[in-house]
Amino acid sequence: MNNNEVYYIILEDCVLLSKKKYNDWHEIQDEYYDKFKTSIGPMTYEDLITYFEDDFGDENKWPLRKENIIDFFESTEEILYSDRF
């Protein structure tokens, strides 16, 4: 598993993971100003999985599928979107 860290970003109409490096949450808010609700991070793969397990329980209720999260961490992609929330 790649050692990347991500930000979990919650917008009004979707959630996303971003590998982009931010100095603080204000930068994220500025980037998604029209739909920003909140963000958490940076988080490692393990942090994110633990957060989803604690917050959502059953994997079927997660906003992002575990297999997509694994693929994202192993990819060179910078953003992963989901409208499953």
**Mean pLDDT along residues 27-49:** 95
Report the C-alpha gap between 75 and 70 in whole angstroms: 9
Model pLDDT for residues 39-75, shown as the tens digit of each residue = 999 999 999 999 999 999 999 999 999 999 999 999 9
Q: What is the pTM of this model?
A: 0.89
- What pLDDT, on the 0 to 100 scale, is given for residue 76? 92
Q: CA torsion sign, 1 to 46 to 23 to 79? A: positive
Residue 1 has pLDDT above 80, yes or no: no
State the pLDDT confidence band at 85, using cuts at 50, 70 and 90.
low
